[in-house]
Amino acid sequence: MTSTAMNAAAGTAPALEMHEVTKVYGEGENAITALASATISIGSNEMVALVGPSGSGKTTLLSIAGGLLAPTSGQVIVGGRDISHASPTELTEVRRNTVGFVFQSVNLVPFLTARENLLLVDELRGSRGKQSKARADRLLDELGLSKRLHNLPSQLSGGERQRVAIGRALMNEPALVLFDEPTSALDTQLGEQVMELIQSEVKGRGTAAIIITHDSRMTHWCDRTVRILDGRLQSDELATAG
Amino acid sequence: MRLAWLELRRRPGKFSVAVVTLTVLAALLLFLAGLLDGLFLGSTGALRAQRADVFVYSSTSRDSFLRSTITPDTRAAVEAVQGVDAVGGLSVTLLGAVVPGETELADVAVIGYELQPSGIPRPSGPGQAWADERLKGFGVGQGDTLLVGPAKTPITVVGFVADSNFQLQGGLWVQTDTWRQVQNQNRPDAPSAAGDVQVLLVQASPGQDAALLADRIDASTRVTSSLTKAEAENSLPGTKEQRTTFNSILATTYMVVVVIVALFFALLTLERTPLYGMLKAIGASSRQLFVGVILQAIIIATVAFAIGGGLVAALSAAAPPKLPLQVQASRIFTSYVILAVCAVIGSLLSLRRVSRIDPAQAIGTAQ
Ligand SMILES: Nc1ncnc2c1ncn2[C@@H]1O[C@H](COP(=O)(O)OP(=O)(O)OP(=O)(O)O)[C@@H](O)[C@H]1O
Ligand SMILES: [Mg+2]
């Protein structure tokens, strides 16, 4: 079953469900509770902004949702699959097939062109061919990079690189895309443009997304905003989609 | 994996230190192996050419040609042993020889023989010799008369043969009587009586086991010490010692290869930690990353070996004839395989580091 088929079959089933998820770093006196009994549900086509001060646990929540980090306790279900007790190999598979990441520091493979950076995602999944190429080209076209296919990251501007990273996150047709401060390295105007792109890409595909941002001006692109403070999710408010 | 291949192609500079170092080591390995083989082949050519199964020495000779004497009586005794098909003498004298028109003496081994070896014609007339091609390097030509030893015994070269040297001295293949003349004129301290030879070569009857026949001969004559052909080759002075010495140098060099490759990939892995973290975050398994590392190690070793091999080929073409360098195809193949295996072993040492890289580090505020 492809992830698209799964989304369709799941209908309105949530892309992410977290129940009482706690994450404690370290042990004994040095223990830090980065996430405390977090419970959240994100619909299959929902775009959620996650805001909170530095050190409040945003990245921790995102890492657990994306199978990068195992929770200390609680239940995590991504794309209908319970990963609370998944092995490292199973988590690799979840990251490969079910989620997409856009990191804060743009993290492209420096010796691969824009197009190859996208194709890499499919190569890791063991597929390579016309379909992958067509998909990569379409994504890059939508992201306004059709003239940049064969450029290396060092030949691209910061905004262009971030757009390539967005394309890469969408390459595996994920149920959930996770953005960690995707606009923090960009100026306001570029940030707005990138958010607009994220919105149209995510919404156009019926994919769910969580976007961490420090910048309250960016939250209006999302369906709702979730606040986090000292590892606790604060409120759950609806915002008007821009 | 394609990623590893593209990195090699697009960032060759990153790998140049490893390639250059391994090239030097590969050239050294091939050069040393070529010397070892050259020394062995150059020492044993005269023996390897023999179509004989057993070499019979006198029992007091401690398996040395120069100390051995087989008298006509002993010869008759050996011939009488059951399983002995044919016998023939083989005798050697190592001397310097004056080559016409040359100032430098040529190192020669005057070899008296009876049974026809492979690749060497039957003995020519008295005072005539088939010379090994190695002597061409000393300026010897067909028809030249060499003046051999302090007594300047004349020997005329009637033609050339290949791979027929003894103890790295150029073979001069003569009748036993010519050899005796050379020996008695130049080594009056060790004269050879008429009918004597140094070593008796034995061809076994079909189906005879050489080692058993050697034992039977010694038991029957009581005055001989017989070796199989392979034992005789290895009993030449220095042969074993050379092999042990060179093999330990070769083994050490291969260990250096492992260490160099291990260090190189350890540093590279350190440098790649953020990249690997990101690749794992987007779904790469440790195994996929590792296949790439091994592939790069093999490619680096292959490129280095090709360049190093080219260097040794150029060197051996330019080397003086006295340098006993022989690079054989089988040696090239095994050297390459061992080098590649060492490179893989070296790269395996970063396996743990690669598998430990945490994909979680790819995300977050860490720059
Ligand atoms: N690997 C770790 N080991 C120990 N403590 C950690 C680790 N990662 C995060 N923490 C701690 O957990 C808490 C939450 O960190 P997290 O990175 O989730 O915050 P954040 O909201 O993303 O902050 P920022 O806005 O600065 O990125 C912080 O107190 C942090 O110091
Ligand atoms: Mg963070």
Residue A235 pLDDT level (bands cut at 50, 70, 90): low
| Pair (B29, B126) in one structural domain | no
Q: Which residues contact B84 (CB under 8 A, 6 or more apart)?
A: B78, B202, B203, B204, B205, B213, B217
Contact A111 B284 (CB under 8 A): no
For every residue of B144-193, which 3-state class applies, written as one string? CEEEECCCCEEEEEEEEECCCCECCEEEEEECHHHHHHHHHHHCCCCCCC
pLDDT band at A13 (very low <50, low <70, confident <90, very high): confident
The answer for residues whose C-beta is within 8 angstroms of residue B230's C-beta and 6 or more apart is none
What is the spatial distance between Cα B303 and Cα A146, in angstroms, rounded to a whole number? 37
Number of H helices and E strands in chain A, helices first, is 7, 10
Distance of CA B279 from the midpoint of ligand 1 (Å): 21
- Total domains in chain B come to 2
Q: Is the dihedral of CA B229, B233, B234, B235 positive or negative?
A: positive
Contact call for residues B23 and A140 (beta carbons, < 8 A)? no
A54 CB under 6 A from ligand 1? yes
In 3D space, the residue among B188, B107, B184, B182 whose CA is nearest the CA of residue B152 turns out to be: B182
Query: CA B123, B129, B135, B140 torsion: positive or negative?
Result: negative
CA distance B266 to chain A (A): 20
Ligand 1 and A34: CB distance under 6 A: yes
Three-state SS letters, B341-361: HHHHHHHHCCHHHHHHCCHHH
Helix (H, G, I), strand (E, B) or coil at A207: coil
The answer on B297 and B153 residing in a single domain is no
Cβ within 8 Å, pair A123-B359: no
Distances (CA, A) of B153 to B110, B128, B178, B190: 11, 11, 10, 16
Domain check: are B65 and B168 in the same one?
yes
Q: What beta strand segments (E) does chain A contain? A: 16-25, 32-42, 47-51, 73-78, 81-82, 99-102, 176-180, 208-212, 224-229, 232-238
For residue A57, the ligand 1 atom closest to its alpha carbon is: 18
Q: In angstroms, rounded to a whole number, what is the distance separating the alpha carbons of residues B10 and B1?
A: 15
Residues B61 and B169 in one domain: yes
Q: Best mutation site among A50, A72, A94, A101 for testing chain B: the one with the most B CBs within 10 Å?
A: A101
Q: Could you tell me the domains of chain A?
A: 44-67+84-238 (3.40.50.300)
Torsion of CA B254, B256, B261, B263, to 10 degrees: 160
Q: Tell me the CB-side half-sphere exposure of residue B204, using CA atoms within 13 A.
A: 21
Ligand 1 and B367: CB distance under 6 A? no
Q: Are residues B68 and B33 in the same domain?
A: no
**Ligand 1, pocket-test mutation among A60, A62, A105, A184, most atoms within 8 A of CB:** A60
Cβ contact B16:B22 at 8 Å: no
The answer to whether A124 contacts B11, with C-beta atoms less than 8 Å apart, is no
Per-residue pLDDT of chain B (367 residues; tens, 9 = 90+): 789 999 999 999 999 999 999 999 999 999 999 999 999 998 999 999 999 999 999 999 888 998 999 999 999 999 999 999 999 999 999 999 999 999 999 999 999 999 999 999 999 999 999 999 999 989 999 999 999 999 999 999 999 999 999 999 999 999 999 999 999 999 999 999 999 999 999 999 999 999 999 999 999 999 999 999 999 998 888 888 888 999 999 999 999 999 999 999 999 999 999 999 999 999 999 999 999 999 999 999 999 999 999 999 999 888 877 788 888 899 999 999 999 999 999 999 999 999 999 998 877 544 3
Nearest to B262 by CA among B337, B338, B341, B344: B344
* Angle at A77 (CA atoms; ends B283, A181), nearest 5 degrees: 60
Contact indicator for A180, A107 with CB cutoff of 8 Å: no
pLDDT mean over A219-239 = 82
Interacting residues of B44 by C-beta distance below 8 A, sequence separation 6+: B233, B236, B239
Are B243 and B194 contained in the same domain?
A: no
pLDDT in tens, A16-34: 999 999 999 988 888 999 9
Q: What is the pLDDT of residue A11?
A: 52
Q: Model confidence over A165-184: pLDDT tens digits?
A: 999 999 999 999 999 988 88
Q: Is A229 in the pocket of ligand 1 (CB under 6 A)?
A: no
**Dihedral sign from CA coordinates of A143, A144, A145, A146:** positive
**B212 is a domain residue:** no
pLDDT at B52: 95
Q: Do both B30 and B110 map to the same domain?
A: no
Q: Is A70 exposed, middle or buried (0-12, 13-18, 19+ CB in 10 A)?
A: middle
Phi, psi of B192 (to 5 degrees): -115, 125
User: Which chain B positions have a beta carbon within 8 Å of A92's beta carbon?
Assistant: 280, 283-285, 359
- Whether residue B323 is found in the same domain as residue B197: no
B141 and B25 within one domain: no
- ipTM of the assembly? 0.89
Strand partners for B84: B204
Tell me which of B185, B207, B229 is where a domain ends: B207
The verdict on a CB contact (< 8 Å) between B282 and A96 is yes
Mind listing the pLDDT tens digit for each residue in A33-78?
999 999 999 999 999 999 999 999 999 999 999 999 999 999 999 9
**B92: alpha, beta or left? (left if phi > 0; alpha if psi -120 to 50):** beta
Is position B181 within any domain?
A: yes
Residue for token digits 């028109």?
Answer: B101
* B219 is a domain residue: no
Is the separation of the CB atoms in A159 and A186 below 8 Å?
A: yes
Tell me: pLDDT of A238 over 60: no
**pLDDT band per the 50, 70, 90 thresholds, residue A8:** very low
Asked whether residue B271 is domain-assigned, the answer is yes
Cβ pair A101:B3 closer than 8 A: no
In a shared domain, residues B134 and B23: no
Domain span holding position B145: 54-207
Residues of A in contact with B359 (CB under 8 A): 68, 92, 95
Dihedral, CA atoms, A228, A232, A236, A240, nearest 10 degrees? 10
Q: Is residue B327 part of a domain?
A: yes
**Ligand 1 close to Cβ of residue A135 (< 6 A):** no
Polymer length in residues for chain B? 367
Indicate the residue among B188, B207, B226 that finishes a domain. B207
How buried is residue B6: exposed, middle or buried, by Cβ count under 10 Å (0-12/13-18/19+)? middle
Give the model's pLDDT for residue A188.
Answer: 83
Strand, coil or helix: what is A46?
A: coil
Would the CB atoms of B285 and A62 count as touching at under 8 Å? no
8 Å CB contact between A178 and A210? yes
Quick check: A4 pLDDT over 70?
Answer: no
Question: What's the gap in Å between A59 CA and the centre of ligand 2?
Answer: 4
Q: Which residues of A115-143 are buried (b: 16+ CB within 10 A; e: fewer)?
A: bbbbbbbbbbbeeeeeebeebbbebbebb
Q: Which one of A83, A91, A109 would you mutate to disrupt binding with B, by most B Cβ within 10 Å of its Cβ?
A: A109
Q: Does a structural domain hold residue B223?
A: no
* Predicted confidence (pLDDT) at residue A241 exceeds the cutoff of 60: no
Amino acid A106: pLDDT: 64
Task: Look at the alpha carbons of A132, A136, A141, A145 in this order and tell me if their dihedral is positive or negative.
Answer: negative
Alpha-carbon distance of A126 to B305, in angstroms, equals 32
Asked whether residue B305 is domain-assigned, the answer is: yes
Q: Do B200 and B315 belong to one domain?
A: no
Residues B83 and B157 in one domain: yes
